[in-house]
């Protein structure tokens, strides 16, 4: 049986999310003061009102609504099961204190998977768009299909300075079953699942 070569999808990362808002000025203030985004220049060819913000490797694009009729009704209840964007957070308590200082209402949730405990904060932006803050990165990424998965790996530490440039040895990352870091264990598990599913997908079936 001839194996077909799988063409890799040439995607790199999430670039931005876009929201229509009632007031661009108010929403910019929210994303800057509450979530730490910075306003950046938009293309000068745009002939409609909006704003671009950027931080943490992702952009937030805001567009002024043309009519209140096209805007969703503001939600009185925070429902974590609704559509939302999620940000990884290194200090959930600090973010919770910031939400309280700025008067942003939120709800919390906890997800458990084996020994991993994921804490979540959910709240709305000024137009009712749901935002989640979590430590979901602690969950291992275990693919259920043979589609290639690009795992986010830590950048290798730069080699120490040396008098002789030729003595510098490029740093590499290797993963094995004895590695202690969560990313390493995740990579090992992911590789095993990918190989197992790839074998299942390509194995001839007879009855």
**Residue 188 per-residue DSSP state:** H
| Residues with Cβ within 8 Å of residue 71, at least 6 apart in sequence | 20, 22, 65, 127
Phi, psi of 40 (to 5 degrees): -130, 165
Annotation marks residue 191 as catalytic: no
Out of 132, 137, 180, 191, which one is annotated catalytic? Answer: 132
Residue 97 phi/psi, 5° resolution? -65, -40
Tokens representing residue 105 in the block: 């209402």
Hey, which residues are catalytic here?
A: 132
């Amino acid at each position: 049986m001839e194996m077909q070569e799988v063409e890799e999808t040439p995607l790199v990362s999430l670039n931005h999310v876009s929201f229509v808002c009632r007031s661009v000025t108010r929403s910019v203030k929210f994303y800057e003061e509450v979530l730490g985004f910075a306003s950046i220049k938009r293309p000068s060819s745009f002939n409609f009102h909006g704003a671009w913000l950027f931080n943490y490797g992702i952009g937030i694009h805001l567009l002024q609504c043309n009519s209140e009729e096209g805007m969703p009704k503001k939600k009185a209840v925070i429902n974590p099961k609704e559509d939302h964007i999620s940000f990884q957070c290194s200090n959930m308590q600090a973010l919770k204190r910031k939400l309280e200082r700025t008067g942003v209402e939120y709800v919390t949730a906890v997800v458990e998977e084996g020994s991993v405990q994921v804490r979540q904060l959910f709240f709305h932006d000024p137009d009712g768009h749901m935002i989640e803050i979590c430590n979901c990165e602690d969950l291992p990424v275990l693919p259920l299909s043979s589609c290639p998965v690009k795992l986010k790996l830590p950048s290798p530490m730069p080699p120490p300075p040396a008098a002789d440039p030729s003595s510098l040895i490029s740093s590499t990352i290797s993963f094995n079953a004895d590695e202690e870091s969560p990313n390493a264990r995740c990579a090992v598990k992911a590789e095993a699942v990918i190989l197992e599913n790839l074998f299942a997908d390509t194995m001839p079936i007879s009855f």
